[in-house]
Structures are given as C-alpha cells and as structure tokens.
Amino acid sequence: MSFAKLDDLGRKLEALEHALSILGADEATHMAVGGGEKRAEAMSNLAGMYHAQATAPEIADWIEAAKPENEDQQRALAEFKRQYINATCLPTEFVERRTAATMRSEQLWRELRAKGDWDSFLPALEGVVTLVREEAQLRADALKLAPYDALMDQYDPGNRTAELDGVFADLKSFLKGFVPEALEAQAERLSKRPIKPLNGPYPIEKQRELGLAAMRAVGFDFTHGSLAVSHHPFCGGVPTDVRMTTRYRTDEFLSSLMGVLHETGHALYEQGLPKAWSHWPLGKARGMGIHESQSLFVEMQLARSPEFWEFALPLVHLHLGEDAIPGWDIEDVLAQVNFVERGYIRVDADEVTYPLHVILRYELEQELVNGKLEASQIPEAWDAKMTEYLGISTINDPKDGPMQDVHWPGGAFGYFPSYTLGAMIAAQQWAALEKAQPNVRGAIAKGDFSGINQWRSDNIWSQASRFSTPDLITRATGEPLNADFFKAHLKQRYL
C-alpha cells in the first residue's frame, strides 16, 4: 500500500512539474511583456505547492513501509528516498537565508560584472561562500558524504572527487601539452588553406527551415516537441512536449545551426525516457553530466565530423541557396566549426580548450568549499591557473576572469564538473557505439541516424535513473569513465 501512495505522490508531483516547465518555457519565448508579474506569482505558488507535497513528513513513513513488488519498484523506491532526503535536509530557515543571499548576489553580479568591479562584489560573494559551506555540511551529514561530494551529488548522483580528481588530473596534463600542438597543426593547415568568410546575410526564416530539417534528420519527434526563439538557447518543457529554442544572427548561420543540434541532443534524451516511469524519480534523466553527454554527442561527435557535413552541406544549399557559401567544401566548413583558440571566456571556448576552463573552476570551488581558499583570494588563484593552463592572464580583468559565470554568485557549486564530464562521456559512448556499429560513419554520411539513436536509446535513454552516473557509463560503454577516449577523439580531429 505504501508504494501505491508513493506512486500517487509521483503523479501529483509530475503534474506540478509539467505546469512549471511549460510556464517557464512560455515565459522565455511567447509571454507578453506585461505578463511577468502574474506569471512569477503563479509559478511561485506552484513551486510552493510542489515543495510542500515533496517534503510532507508522512512520505518518510511511506518510504520506510513500502514493499516493492519488482526490481523497477525497488529502484524507484531508492530514488524516492534519495529525492526525499535531498528535499528535506535543508531547514526552511536556511533555505530562506540562502535564497535571499543568492538573489542579492546575482543582482549585484549583473550590475557589477560589466564594470569589472570585484571589490564591490566581494562582500556578497563571501556571504554566498559561507552559506555554500553550511549547505555542503548539511547535505554531507544527511547523505553521509564528504561536503563537496554532497554538492556534486545534486547534479550527478554517484560522482565522487576520489574518482574525478584522477580523471581530471590526467586530462589536464594531456591538454596542457595538446593545446599548443593543436594550434600549431591548425596554423599549418590555415597557411595552406585560409578560412573562407561567410557570405551573409542569411534570412532568419531560411535558417529556421535549415534547423528544422537538421532536427528532423537526427531524430527529433515533432509530435512531441517544437522549436522557438529565445535570448539564450535552451531545451525545456516535458518529455511529451519538449520546448527547444535557438537564436539567430543574420551575418552567419553556423552558430544557430550548431546550437540547434546541441539542444536537439538534450531533446532526444528527454523524448527517449521511459514513459511508464515518467511520474517516478526513476524515470527522469540521470543527471547533468549524462544530459550534457547527449547534447555534446550530437553537437561534437556527429555535427562537427566530416561525415555529417557530407550529408549536411547539400541541406545548407537546399535551404539557404547555392550561393550561401560559394565555393565551400567540407574542409572549409570544418575549419570554421572546429576552430581552436586560447580565450578568456568559458562559454565561447572550443572543444579543445573548454575542459581547462572547467577543471580550473572544479579545483577552485573544492578549495572554497573545504575552506582552503577564501573568496578574497579568488582573483590571484584564478589568474595563476589561467596562466598555467592556457597561457593567458586575468589578474587585471575580473570581468572576463572570476566574474564571468553566474554559477558562484547564484550559489551553484558542484555543477561545473558536469560540463566536461559530458564531453568525456560523449567521446566514450562514441567509441563504444563505433565498436558495435563499424559502418556508423557511412550511415552518418547518408543522413541515417537510426542505428545511432537505437544504440543510445538502449544504453542511455531507456535506462533513465536506474543507475548512478558512474554505473550508467560503465554499463553503456563496458568500462568506467576513462579520459583516453576523449584524448583519442581530440587527437583524431585536431591533429
């Protein structure tokens, strides 16, 4: 009987999640400007209802008394318990303090980042760091984990620094030597064949049709999803009604197309989750690292490969016109989409340098959480790592240094590792898939993604949250997370 109560709870929570997700997606895309105040009020009330139902005291009794009838229910019960502990381990008084502090910190960040005014921002960030340490300890006590592991577990259940430290250290050591090699190889290629300029303008409607065609080709189900425009591209909504967005520039089309393909990777995962479990925590996507691996698989493994452009170049000509990129061939497109350069900004970084931006943050936030580093020491510590890892200094540029991301001002510690984990998992999945389907590159060149999507459905999407992140990787690819696959991918593409 107790599991039936959990099942009923799951359906009620799913209904509220559905409403919040669709309202949130609509706010970012179609809501009238004057609708903001009432929309915020509606979503706040729904979020309050969700929290009250998800943290009700009787749920603990239901979990304790539940008697699962099969393996799926047993795993579902474990996820209900994990979700309940995470929802209830922070006292209401603490949540209120944290919410007020992070909201004020984010507001100050938006105001002061453009000026690079670190000194004025520092007191707010110090307050957030103090609260994050408190949260980390509260979660650690409830989950029986080390403080930083307890924060990471919110985003990727099962990930632990004991394993990630070694994987990231190995990758960092490789990349510090590989970045100069990749830049040298690129310079040699470009000396013989310079990058060709894009031949804009590209009308937005034509770009939209190209994006829709690419989405359809890689497997997006338009009976359960749609594409809109927003200031920042995202994939939201719910699995049965995925709301994807992009943004357009008329002077070039590649950034929108690659963004569409990235978000389509997220969407395919959501659309592929098991519908029978959709109202259980067990039926949700496993975590941020796995989710990012699905989007990066489409964007990086597929859409930046020569085989993909054998298929996609005629699609560009069909939708944008034969004179859209006059005289271009596949090599010209690859030179654009796989361009490597050292830069200050994480979100603008290429596939080669991006992990170093993430590893820098991963190392610093561990020290911040564990008390080995204070917020006031961040600029010097940040600059030392940027100089060592990428050969560029940010000591006099906090705007493009430690003030560039919203994560720390918003109190989101433990999130950054997911970005690079996603890239590594995607490369490891590709290696496993290519082993299982030796002719997969030929299929991509013909625009046939059915075998790829079937493999990913069997090994990732249909599994939802049945396993921890590390276990899911091992089951899907045959071994634990291994940086060698990502390193081999970079060597093959950039050297």
Binding residues for Zn(2+): 262, 266, 292
Query: SS3 of 258, please?
Result: helix
- Number of other CB atoms surrounding residue 71 within 10 Å: 9
Indicate the burial class of 22 (C-beta count within 10 angstroms; 0-12, 13-18, 19 or more): middle
Residue with tokens 């990732």: 460
Query: What does the alpha-carbon distance between residue 364 and residue 257 come to, in Å, rounded to a whole number?
Result: 34
Which pair of structure tokens corresponds to residue 156?
């990727």
Give the residues across from 241 on adjacent strands. 238
Q: Measured on CA atoms in the order 60, 62, 66, 68, is the torsion positive or negative? A: negative
**Long-range contacts made by residues 27-36, C-beta under 8 angstroms, separation at least 24?**
28/230, 28/231, 28/232, 28/234, 28/236, 28/245, 29/228, 29/229, 29/230, 29/243, 29/245, 30/228
Query: What does the alpha-carbon distance between residue 343 and residue 350 come to, in Å, rounded to a whole number?
Result: 9
Which pair of structure tokens corresponds to residue 53?
């139902």
Query: What does the alpha-carbon distance between residue 416 and residue 289 come to, in Å, rounded to a whole number?
Result: 9
Residue with tokens 């929290």: 51
**Of 488, 14, 4, whose CA–CA distance to 279 is shortest?**
14
Peptide bond into 201 cis (omega under 30): yes
Query: What does the alpha-carbon distance between residue 439 and residue 448 come to, in Å, rounded to a whole number?
Result: 11
Query: What does the alpha-carbon distance between residue 215 and residue 227 come to, in Å, rounded to a whole number?
Result: 9
Catalytic pick from 111, 126, 184, 263? Answer: 263
Catalytic site includes residue 263: yes
Query: What does the alpha-carbon distance between residue 208 and residue 186 come to, in Å, rounded to a whole number?
Result: 31
Query: What does the alpha-carbon distance between residue 222 and residue 458 come to, in Å, rounded to a whole number?
Result: 21
Query: What does the alpha-carbon distance between residue 30 and residue 338 come to, in Å, rounded to a whole number?
Result: 34
Residue 3 corresponds to which amino acid?
F
**Of 4, 13, 3, whose CA–CA distance to 281 is shortest?**
13
What is the Rg, in whole angstroms, of the alpha carbon atoms belonging to the chain? 23
**Long-range contacts made by residues 203-206, C-beta under 8 angstroms, separation at least 24?**
203/250, 204/248, 204/250, 206/319, 206/320, 206/321
Q: Point out the residues that are catalytic.
A: 263
